[in-house]
Amino acid sequence: MPSENFIKNITSKDNSLSEATLKNLIKSANIEDFKFLCDKSDFIFPFLKEKINKNFVKLIEEKELNTVFEFSKIYSSDFEELIVLSWVKFANEDLTDNILELFDSGTDEQKAYAAKYFSYINDSCALDYLNKFAFCDFEPLKINCALSLSKFEDKTAFNKAKEIILNSKDDYEILDAYSFIAAYGGDEAVKFIIENYKKSAFRENIIILLFDFFDYDKLTKILSSDEILEIFSILIQNYPENVNLNTIIYYQVFDYIKLISTFNTQFANNILIILKAKFDEYNSSDIYSFDLDKDTKNELKNITKFLDSLNLLFENIKDEFNKGNLRISLALDVIKELKIKNLANFIADLINENVLTLDLCAKAAIILKELNMTSLINKENISKIQNENIKALIESLLI
C-alpha cells in the first residue's frame, strides 16, 4: 500500500519534495502508487494536477519509458498528459511502432493513451486503428480517436456518426455518436448538433457535451442569440443535480451571463431571473459550496453580485408561451419563482384549453397549487387526460 504521506508529498508546495517524490515514483515504476494517485485525483486541486503532469514529463528520461508503458495500464483523464506527453517528448519511429502495437495487444486504457498520442504525432499508420475504435464502448478511447481523427482531417468516422444520428432508432447509440461528433470538433460539428439535438431523448446530455468540448468564443461565434439562450438555458437547468458547480469556470458561465444581459429580451430575462434565484441559493447554503475550490467560490460571489445589479423585467412573459416547450417551461419556472399571482387565470386557461404538453400541464397545475388557485382548473378537462400518472397528480392537487 502507498505511504500515507505519498499524496501529501507529491502535491507539496515544496518543489524539491514534490519532484523527489515524482522521481521516486518514476524510478520504482510502482503501479500501485500511480493507481493510488489516480484514485485520489478528485481530491487534488486542478493546478496541482497540472503541476504533477508537467513535472513528470520534465523529469522522465528516455531510459525510463518502460515506466510510462507500465503506468499506461491505468487510465486517468487527469493524468493523461503525464503518459502521452512523456511519449511525445521522446517520439521516434521505434517508439511510435511500440505505441501502434498497443492497438493490437494493449488494454483499452493503453489504447486510449495511444489514440491521444496520435493527436500529436501525425502518422497515417494509426488511421485504420483510430477509425476501428471510434465507436468502442470505452469512452476515453472513443473520445481520443475523435480528437486524433480531427487532427488528421479524416472524416470517415465523423460521417458515420452523422448517419447514426439521422437514421438509428437506438437512443443510446445516438448519444454515443453525438459524443464522438462533439469531441471531433469544428464548426460543422456545432451546427450539426444544434440542428438535430432536439430530436433526441437525451437532448440535455447532448447540450452538456457542447459545453464540454467547445469554449465560449467558439459557440458565440457560430450560434445565433436565440440558440445561445436555448443551450445555456438547458445547461443552467441541470445545475447542480446533473452538472457539478465546479464546472462554472470551465464552462465560462459568467461570460455567458454578461453576454445574455445585453440581449434585452424576455427569454434572456427569464434565464437571468432563474439564474439569480439559483446562485443566491448556492451562495447562501454550505450544501452547495462546502467542497468547491476557492476560485469557484469567488466566481459564485461575482456572478451573484452581477445578477443582483440587473433590473430584470417580466412584462412580456405571456409571449413566451407561443415560443416552444423549452421557453414555456422556463416561463413557468419564473412565474413559480416570483409567485406572480396575476397570471393564475392565464395559466389555468392554458390547462383548461388543453394547449400544453402533459408534463407542462402538470408543472402548471403544481404552480397553481402553490398559488392556492387550483379552483380555476376545470375538473372535466382533467378527467379527459389519458396519462394516468399525470391525471392522478393533477387530481391530487385539486383536493
What confidence tens digit (pLDDT) does each residue in 97-115 have? 999 999 999 999 999 999 9
Compute, in degrees rounded to 10, the torsion defined by CA atoms 40, 41, 44, 45.
-170
For the ranges 37-41, 140-144, 370-374, which has the lowest average pLDDT?
A: 370-374
Q: How many other CB atoms sit within 10 Å of the CB of residue 315?
A: 8
More confident residue, 306 or 322: 306
Does the pLDDT at position 4 exceed 70? no
The pLDDT of residue 303: 95
The pLDDT of residue 1: 60
Does the pLDDT at position 387 exceed 90? no
- Band of residue 31 on the pLDDT scale cut at 50, 70, 90: very high
Q: How far is it, in rounded angstroms, from Cα 399 to Cα 397? A: 6
Mean pLDDT of the chain: 92
The pLDDT of residue 45: 84
Does the pLDDT at position 55 exceed 90? yes
Q: How far is it, in rounded angstroms, from Cα 44 to Cα 10? A: 10
Does the pLDDT at position 233 exceed 90? yes
Sign, Cα dihedral of 95, 96, 101, 107:
positive
List, for residues 170-179, the tens digit of each pLDDT value.
Answer: 999 999 999 9
Percent above pLDDT 70 for the chain: 98
Give the mean model confidence (pLDDT) for residues 346-352: 88
> DSSP letters along 123-157, please?
-GGGHHHHHHTTT-S-HHHHHHHHHHHHHHT--HH
Give the mean model confidence (pLDDT) for residues 297-317: 89
Residues in the chain, total: 399
List, for residues 211-232, the tens digit of each pLDDT value.
Answer: 999 999 999 999 999 999 999 9
For the ranges 149-153, 361-365, 385-389, which has the lowest average pLDDT?
A: 385-389
Which amino acid, 215? D
Give the mean model confidence (pLDDT) for residues 117-136: 96
Does the pLDDT at position 200 exceed 80? yes
pTM for this model (two decimals): 0.88
Cis peptide before 240 (omega within 30 of 0): yes
Does the pLDDT at position 96 exceed 70? yes
Domain ranges of the chain: 339-397
Measured between alpha carbons, how far is residue 159 from residues 137, 150, 153, 198, 394 in Å?
19, 12, 12, 20, 46
The pLDDT of residue 3: 64
Give the mean model confidence (pLDDT) for residues 304-310: 94
Q: Characterise 74 by phi-psi region: left (phi > 0), alpha (psi -120 to 50), beta (else).
A: beta
Q: Do 130 and 115 touch, CB atoms closer than 8 A?
A: yes
Sign, Cα dihedral of 326, 328, 330, 333:
negative
CA-closest candidate to residue 283, choices 273, 271, 272, 292: 292
Please give the grid coordinates belonging to residue 158.
465523423
Q: How far is it, in rounded angstroms, from Cα 250 to Cα 327? A: 26
